[in-house]
Amino acid sequence: MLDQAKVTAVVNEFFNSLKSDEDKMLDTGLTHNATVEILHQAVSQLCQEYPERFEQYIDFFEFACMYLRNESDELPEVVKNGR
């Protein structure tokens, strides 16, 4: 089981890095930063409710990074929720 404080720190760092100083209005009617914050809150809640799914995504991103860096020829498959 992952340390929830570390999960929170990683998720916060990622979403905060996506925010923009410009904070332009998007076609959705929300600003860029408001959209990022909504996604941030949703992901944070899902990480707390389904920590085992978050661990699966960590594995996916680890191997996907290897694929992107040409360290592997195989793009990993994301384990589908409930499938």
Residues 38 and 66 in one domain: no
Phi, psi of 25 (to 5 degrees): -75, 135
State pLDDT tens for residues 7-61.
999 999 999 999 999 999 999 999 999 999 999 999 999 999 999 999 999 999 9
Residues 28 and 42 in one domain: yes
Looking at the structure of the chain, the number of domains it has is: 2
Residues 21 and 44 in one domain: yes
Residues 3 and 33 in one domain: yes
Residues 37 and 63 in one domain: no
Residues 60 and 45 in one domain: no
State which amino acid sits at residue 34.
A
Q: Domain containing 6: what range?
A: 1-49
Cα separation of 71 and 76, whole Å?
13
Phi, psi of 11 (to 5 degrees): -65, -45
Residues 67 and 82 in one domain: yes
State pLDDT tens for residues 10-20.
999 999 999 99
